[in-house]
Amino acid sequence: MPLEAINPATGKTLKRYEEMNDAEVNAAIEAAHQSFLQWRETSFEHRASHMRKAAALLRERAREYGRLMAAEMGKPIRDGIAEAQKCATGCDYYAEYAERYLAEEPVDSGPRKSFVAFRPLGVVLAVMPWNFPFWQVIRFAAPALMAGNAGVLKHASNVPCSALTLEQLFRDAGFPEHLFRTLMIGSKMVGDVIAHPHVRAVSLTGSTPAGRDVAAKAGAALKKCVLELGGSDAYLVLSDADIEFTAASCAKGRLVNSGQSCIAAKRFIVIESLRSRFERQLVVEMGNAKVGDPMDEDTMVGPMARRDLRDELHEQVQKSVAKGARLLCGGEVPRGPGAFYPATVLSDVQPGQPAYDEEMFGPVAAVIAAKDVDDAVRIANDSEFGLGGGVFTRDLALGQRLATDGIDAGSVFVNATVSSDPKLPFGGVKDSGYGRELSSYGIREFVNIKTIVVAQHGGAPTSAHHSE
């Protein structure tokens, strides 16, 4: 089947590409492997010079790349420009810190010389989603390439133009021609790529079912994998929260990327005494968000990436209402072309409703009432997901305690919306995946953590020589 880029605002096909055949895929992986064998011998300084060039190109081309994202998957152009700029920050970050994070670490093990070395693995496969078509790839590629690895990208089938543009970006930045390759393939070929002997590890960002499938294939091939999967982030709104600030923050967190983000705010768990006031203000904030042409600088909510995704979201809303949820705003499919959906708020959300039990991947906010703080934490953790979460309160000590020891998630922010940052580790628990991206933890996921012991020649054996 061809890979098609379809403008979700108009429904028109932008470009169509034929899938690679098996021979072409194997040739691309072989070329990446040969490139890796040379790249791993280069210095961090050499790698960093190219990574800084990639950062400069991302800034220089930010508007061009923003327009591409708007056309291909409906991202509001100002968000796409910001995404390209964030990618530049990520490239600069690893250009600056990779050598420090992968420096050899001495270990005191007695009279012998011992240290830990970090060495690249080889070709790393990235299976990436459409919602942040540049950032998701860069946050994998920047640390992987700086560590000395090569990369092959299987991007989402609806963003082939972004996939090829990223391959060209690294070439334009002076990286070896085959060090980072885009594989123009569908999901059915991913298993064969994972099993290829030159592919040493896999990074996937996507849905939980996709994560289970890739993890099974990687496990069967004994390949390391990192999984960043779905999320249904819970935001606790405590009784002392500043209503206007909290509602504005929650609406912003819910509508980021038109609501199509794993770490978008999704479930708002509000202490009952505050609920009606919070709901009124949240409806105002959600209603103020301009829905429209993603090429318009003022648009906050563009179309969803595909019409089928919009229809699935609407079905979740309808089923939730049928099971007792109350629609406060939105919830109707607009007439006309495109995969648009309005900013929507559901109240009286309870277990058994899709808005409570499932990830809502679009601009729909679910408000859930809690009796007290302990009940709010219970509800937050009553989910198969554990990617991110938030706490809004004036009591910073309480907020920190709930964030640290209460909410079961990979990232929890107090009085702020969850976001990824190159300086901070990113990932989840439970069905939101495992492993970490970004920071020092991310760059060490795809290296051989290697123990080196150098004993004095002819020395007497020590107890440390005992077998495992």
Active site residues: 228, 262
Closest CA to 125 of 66, 215, 227, 193: 193
Residue 263: alpha-carbon gap to chain centroid:
8
φ, ψ for residue 120, nearest 5 deg: -65, 155
Alpha-helical (H) ranges within 196-306 are: 208-220, 243-255, 272-287
Q: Give the separation between CA 411 and CA 422, rounded to whole angstroms.
A: 13
Alpha-helical (H) ranges within 288-430 are: 307-322, 354-357, 373-381, 396-401
φ, ψ for residue 424, nearest 5 deg: -120, 140
Q: For the purposes of burial, counting CB atoms within 10 Å of the CB of 433, is it exposed (0-12), middle (13-18) or buried (19 or more)?
A: buried
From the CB of residue 22, how many other CB atoms can be counted at a distance below 10 Å? 10
As given in the structure block, the two tokens for residue 404 are 């640290």
> Which residues are paired to 453 by β-bridges?
114
Q: Give the separation between CA 321 and CA 319, rounded to whole angstroms.
A: 5
Query: Do the beta carbons of residue 302 and residue 333 sit within 8 Å?
Result: no
Query: Do the beta carbons of residue 365 and residue 266 sit within 8 Å?
Result: yes
Closest CA to 269 of 232, 315, 307, 234: 234
Q: Give the separation between CA 68 and CA 46, rounded to whole angstroms.
A: 30
Q: Give the separation between CA 257 and CA 266, rounded to whole angstroms.
A: 13
Q: Give the separation between CA 464 and CA 171, rounded to whole angstroms.
A: 48
φ, ψ for residue 346, nearest 5 deg: -110, 135
Closest CA to 386 of 213, 210, 247, 266: 266
